[in-house]
Amino acid sequence: MPRYRSPAMRRYVIRLAVLMTAYVVLLFGSIRLFQQSHPTGVAAYALAVAPALPIIGVFWTVMRLLVEEQDEFVRMLLVRQSLIATGFCLTIVTVWEFLQNFELVPPGNGGFGAAFFWFMGLGVGALYNKLTVGSSGGC
């Protein structure tokens, strides 16, 4: 059965592909430059923040999908998926922070930040939609 692909969904997929490509380039570029040039001051901050920009772009592109999607049922699924992702992410991060506050787990997050858990939450949201409404949405 062909999966529903609205114009908004197609734009979302293209934006996501561009942003993920930019993320990989900026992440490996920043790592390489930090190792080779040991930047300091403003340059170091700019380089450290650079890989976060495409991730912020992904948040924007998900929100644009919610605005641009014309099919009300699919939009409802996407909203549910995003809310579940937000709740999932906040729950994990909050619990982890309290575990850190009581020094039960080491500081840092091993590279798995809030964005990672939000994207994982999108998967949980899609599964929840599939189980409760019989359709996963598409985000």
Partner 1 sequence: MKNRLKVLRAERDWSQQDLADRLQVSRQSVNAIETGKYDPSLPLAFKIAELFALAIEEIFASPTKD
The only residue of 35, 40, 41, 72 in contact with partner 1, by rule CB under 8 A: 72
Q: Does 76 participate in binding partner 1 (rule CB under 8 A)?
A: yes
Selected range binding partner 1 among 45-53, 68-76, 86-94, 100-108, rule: CB under 8 A: 68-76
Q: Are 6 and 69 in contact (CB under 8 A)?
A: yes
Q: Which of 32/130 has CB closer to partner 1?
A: 130
Selected range binding partner 1 among 14-22, 27-35, 36-44, 70-78, rule: CB under 8 A: 70-78
Q: Which of 10/32 has CB closer to partner 1?
A: 10
Which contacts of 8-14 are long-range, i.e. CB under 8 A and separated by 24 or more positions? 8/65, 8/68, 8/69, 8/70, 9/65, 9/69, 9/74, 9/138, 11/64, 11/65, 11/68, 12/61, 12/62, 12/64, 12/65, 12/68, 12/139
Selected range binding partner 1 among 27-35, 85-93, 115-123, 128-136, rule: CB under 8 A: 128-136
* 36: amino acid identity, one letter: Q
The only residue of 11, 71, 80, 114 in contact with partner 1, by rule CB under 8 A: 71
The only residue of 28, 60, 73, 98 in contact with partner 1, by rule CB under 8 A: 73
Nearest Cα to Cα of residue 138 among 5, 26, 21, 14: 5
Spell out the residues 6+ positions from residue 39 whose beta carbon is closer than 8 angstroms to its own: 33, 47
Q: Does 127 participate in binding partner 1 (rule CB under 8 A)?
A: no
Chain residues in the site for partner 1 (CB under 8 A): 4, 6, 70-74, 76, 133-135
